[in-house]
Amino acid sequence: MANVTRSGWGPRPTLDAVAELAGVSRATVSRVVNESTKVGPEVRARVEDAIRTLGYVPNPVARSLVTRRTDAVALVVGEPSNMVMTDPWLSRLILATSRELGDAGRQAVLLLTGGDDDHDRIARYLAGGHVDGAIVLSVHRTDPLGPALRGLPIPVMFGGHPWADELGAAGSIDVDQRDGARRAVEHLVRLGRRRIATITGSLDQRAALERLEGYRETLGEPDPALIAHGDFTRAGGERAMTELLERVPDLDAVFAASDLTAAGAIGVLRRAGRRVPEDVAVVGFDDLEEVAAWTEPPLTTVHQPVGTFGRRLVDALLTMLAGGEPVREVLPVRLVVRQSA
């Protein structure tokens, strides 16, 4: 093979240039690029050497026409960008899933829903052959995103159970939300707490509803006054905790639907002169290191395995892309006991 070097400048190398340098046909180069098994090892080595020498990069559009693969996966998040930036659990799951996709040789394409027109636009994009599959996170009950994904010609995996039961061809990975709530409330009961309140997440999200159901199932028929509605945020926890203290001043424990909510609740309790955990014990949900370990006192909380969550989402989607059946799995959770309860 001739001694050819290529700088980073000038025209982009072509398939024909690779074929000429390797001394083979253009069709042979195409077979090597598209990972065909119909090329012998000696010829393949010559072509690969020519590709490296010239710095040839395959045209992804042309390659996808041959392989019918884009090697891209859409990561669809049913939240606007400001929510993604301020919700540490969601941002960690997005990062974990993107990292797993990269390790699997797939490019993550992040799609956020910030407006009413986004759902149809995203559905059209997913149906247009731009990606091989989709992973969908944080879908709300009234969100048209779920129904908009029905009937897509690509595999879809939901992080969390989808609301729309008719999406039978989709897979899902979730954590055991009810069990996490039961573990939290049972811990408070074992501590001798009798007036156990809860601050919910946004009840148009299935995770929040299942955590509330776990709380109710554990306590039987709790006083409705002990239930205050939040939205998974610190500010929502502050508002709900203020409401609970006005309504139930003798409460002695709080199960919060997220660590951010619990942190907001602890701030309100401190300002009200209530000691944590002596006067009011507090348990959160998520086990976010940047929140739980830095509350005062450090937060007892339910641990969600975010790394495992992202890995299983990607593994399950790859299984479906390889022709396997939709995967539906529920991951276990555990209680991490610190000083707040």
> At residue 95, does pLDDT exceed 60?
yes
Domain that holds residue 237: 177-303
Domain at 44, CATH number: 1.10.260.40
Is 9 inside any structural domain? no
315 and 291 within one domain? no
pTM, to two decimals: 0.78
**Averaged over 270-295, what is the pLDDT?**
94
Six token digits for residue 231: 């939205």
Q: Which residue has the higher pLDDT, 92 or 7?
A: 92
pLDDT of residue 62: 52
Residue 10's pLDDT band, with cuts at 50, 70 and 90, is: low
Is 338 inside any structural domain? no
226 and 189 within one domain? yes
Q: Which long-range contacts (CB under 8 A, 24 or more apart) does 224-228 make?
A: 226/195, 226/196, 226/197, 226/198, 226/251, 227/197, 227/198, 227/200, 228/197, 228/198, 228/199, 228/200
HSE (side-chain half, CA atoms, 13 Å) at 65: 5
pLDDT tens, position by position, 192-214: 999 999 999 999 889 999 999 99
Domain at 208, CATH number: 3.40.50.2300
283 and 185 within one domain? yes
> At residue 304, does pLDDT exceed 60?
yes
Q: Amino acid letter at 25?
A: S
pLDDT tens, position by position, 145-170: 777 777 778 889 999 887 766 566 78
Q: Which residue has the higher pLDDT, 33 or 115?
A: 33
> At residue 18, does pLDDT exceed 90?
no
> At residue 63, does pLDDT exceed 80?
no
pLDDT of residue 2: 47
pLDDT of residue 196: 98
